[in-house]
Amino acid sequence: MAEPTPYDTGARCEPKPWLPTSDVQQLALRNDLPDDFGKVDFDNDEGGTVCVAYVERNGDGRFTVHIQPLVDEELRVMVHRDDGSVVILPGPASSATEKDS
C-alpha cells in the first residue's frame, strides 16, 4: 500500500481546475469575458474548496496573483523569495506584512 500523500493527509490542499458550467463558458466566450477561465480551486481533504487562485498580466506588463478565500477561518499568504519569505497577514486591504527570514 502506498504512503498517503500530503493531499491525503490534509497537509496540502489539492489543486483542481476551476470549471464554470457550460452555460457560463458559452456566455464568456460570446462576450469575451476572460474572468471565467484559468482559475484553480484548492480543495481540503474533506473536498471543500479553501480558495480559488489565478495569475494574470496587468496593463503595465507585471503579473498579479489573485486569491479568493472561500473559508471562514483566516487564510495566510506566504510569498517565497530568494532573500527570504514574506507573510501577508489577513485583515483589511491595508494589512501589515511580516518578513520571515
CB 35 within 8 A of CB 25: no
Shared domain for 85 and 64, answered yes or no, is no
Cα pseudo-dihedral 23, 29, 32, 36, rounded to 10: 60
- What does the pLDDT look like over 21-67, one tens digit per residue? 556 555 555 555 556 567 888 888 888 889 889 888 888 988 888 88
- Strands in 1-101 per DSSP E: 14-17, 40-43, 49-57, 63-69, 77-81, 84-88, 97-100
Determine how many CB atoms are found less than 10 A away from the CB of residue 35.
11
The answer to whether residues 45 and 5 touch, using CB atoms and an 8 Å cutoff, is no
Same-domain status, 45 and 78: no
Claim to verify: residue 79 and residue 63 sit in the same structural domain: no
pLDDT of residue 94: 47
Question: What is d(CA 44, CA 92) in angstroms, rounded to the nearest whole number?
Answer: 25
Nearest 10 degrees: Cα torsion 24, 29, 32, 34: 60
**Summary mean pLDDT of the chain:** 76
pLDDT classification of 101: cutoffs 50, 70, 90: very low
33 and 60 in a single domain? The answer is: yes
Query: Is 85 a residue whose pLDDT tops 70?
Result: yes
User: Does 96 score more than 70 pLDDT?
Assistant: no
Question: How many domains in the chain?
Answer: 2
Checking if the pLDDT of 16 tops 50, the result is: yes
